[in-house]
Chain A
Amino acid sequence: MIPAQFDYLAPTSLKEAVAMLAQHGDRAKLLAGGHSLIPAMKLRLSQPELLVDLGRVKDLSFTNEKDGQVRIGAMTTHYQIESSARLRSICPLLPETASHIGDVQVRNKGTIGGSLAHADPAADWPAAMLALGAELVATSTKGERVINADSFFVDVMTTALAPNEILSEIRVPVAPARSGYAYVKMAQPASGFAVVGIAVALTRDGAGKCSNVGIGVTGIAPRAYRATAVENALKGTTLDDATIARAAGHVADGIEPNADLYASAEYRAHLGEVYAKRAIKRAVEAIRS
């Protein structure tokens, strides 16, 4: 099928783009990489009246460092992140997560901002954002506001973004000393989406104890979430195997796991525990001094 008829605007600056959103209200839908929206439009599951294409907004495509943070423009593609040697050095969870997204074609066009705003319950980026405690910058005609990742993912495909806001920038901490990261995912063989995906960011103190840990989980629940029960079971410990195994058992605490034709709720919960254990161990092994 081809999409239903739509109007099209291509702003060349963020300022122009937010003005268009303010002017056109709920007629407008933002287009980023298009690899979630356009398939939906082709099936006519989505029929926006007006597409506002961010593809020519150059000021949304950047990577820089400021005040101990890595700042990434929302229109930066998954491939740009995956292939960045600089990011591999200062924030390795980002290129690692990007490498698991979709396929080469999706990674060439898909953007980190588009993926986060779309908030698919099985997308990869939300898990990494939660593990890193990312800050997400939302811009509108009224200015900017910073949303913490913990408050960003509200429900199935629902974020804290207001209809007139554009997610413009993603800020994550530069990796501190003695930190380790991992993203481990069980991909649905046909779609590539995460049946379960676990992102871990942890830091060890000088005595070898876990001083900080963030664990983001995708694929299991209607929205990505932080496995705080697992985090609490790891903090202050020596991150030995027995502790990790015990902690991983809490990955789906308080969660009613998704169920679909591919994986039952029980299977997902079990996978979550297995993958949480793997991800934590990989992150520990990856700790650099």
Chain B
Amino acid sequence: MDRVYHALTDPEVLCKCIPGCEKLVSTGDNTFEAVLAVGVGPVKGKFTGHVRLEDTAPPSHYKLVFEGKGGPGFAKGNAEFNLTGADAQTSLHYIAQVNVGGPLAGVAQRMIHATAQMLAGRFFAALEKNGLGVGG
């Protein structure tokens, strides 16, 4: 569980796993600057923004607060992660809230939720590929 928590809060691991992450660097205490080039279908955009870790309670809980802006629009929200488990098995439970605005939201509102879920799925698949079998 410690290993998973550490990986989930390590900018190097996060940058490898977050879809389209080009840059994720620490800018201070639990804050990061991020650049994401991400797309679904023909819609691709570069988003720059900030990520902040809050309510950190290693190794079981933290909250990630993010906001980003790009050509297609802006997104801000947060995700709460809870880790439970014993021995070699860790379960991860997350709840995320996202607000999206700009042309992307105006035109593609009906697809935002499905797209966010797809990107989250890619994130967790990448976590697994990078050596962390995260179940749940």
Taking Cβ atoms with an 8 Å cutoff, the residues of A that contact B are: 29, 36-37, 39-40, 43-48, 118-122, 155-158, 188, 193, 221-222, 258-262
Contact = CB atoms under 8 A, between A and B. Distances in A.
The 4 closest A-B pairs by CB, nearest first: A157-B41, A222-B114, A260-B110, A46-B42
Contacts, number: 68
Nearest to A40: B42
Nearest to B108: A45
Contacts of B114: 121, 156, 221-222, 258
B19 to A, nearest CB: 12
Contacts of A158: 40-41, 118
Interface string B37-48: 000111111000
Given A45-B45, A122-B110, A157 B103 contact: no
B117 A222 contact: yes
A158 B112 CA distance: 14
Interface of B: 40-45, 71-72, 103-104, 107-115, 117-118
A193 B107 CA distance: 12
B42 A262 contact: no
Contact of A45 (B103, B109, B118): B103
Given A44-B103, A45-B42, A120-B41, 20 more contacts: A36-B42, A43-B103, A44-B71, A45-B71, A45-B103, A45-B107, A46-B44, A47-B71, A118-B41, A119-B41, A121-B110, A121-B114, A156-B118, A157-B40, A157-B42, A158-B40, A188-B110, A259-B113, A260-B112, A261-B109
A258 B110 contact: yes
A261 B106 CA distance: 11
B42 A48 contact: yes
Given A45-B72, A45-B104, A47-B71, A40 B43 contact: yes
Contacts of B110: 121-122, 188, 193, 258, 260-262
A39 B107 CA distance: 10
Given A45-B45, A118-B42, A156 B103 contact: no
A39 B114 CA distance: 21
A156 B115 contact: yes
Nearest to A44: B71
30 contacts: A39-B107, A40-B42, A40-B107, A43-B103, A43-B107, A44-B71, A45-B71, A45-B72, A45-B103, A45-B107, A46-B43, A46-B44, A47-B44, A118-B42, A120-B41, A121-B110, A155-B118, A156-B40, A156-B115, A157-B40, A157-B42, A158-B41, A158-B118, A222-B114, A258-B110, A258-B114, A259-B113, A260-B109, A260-B110, A260-B112
Nearest to A41: B42
Nearest to A36: B42
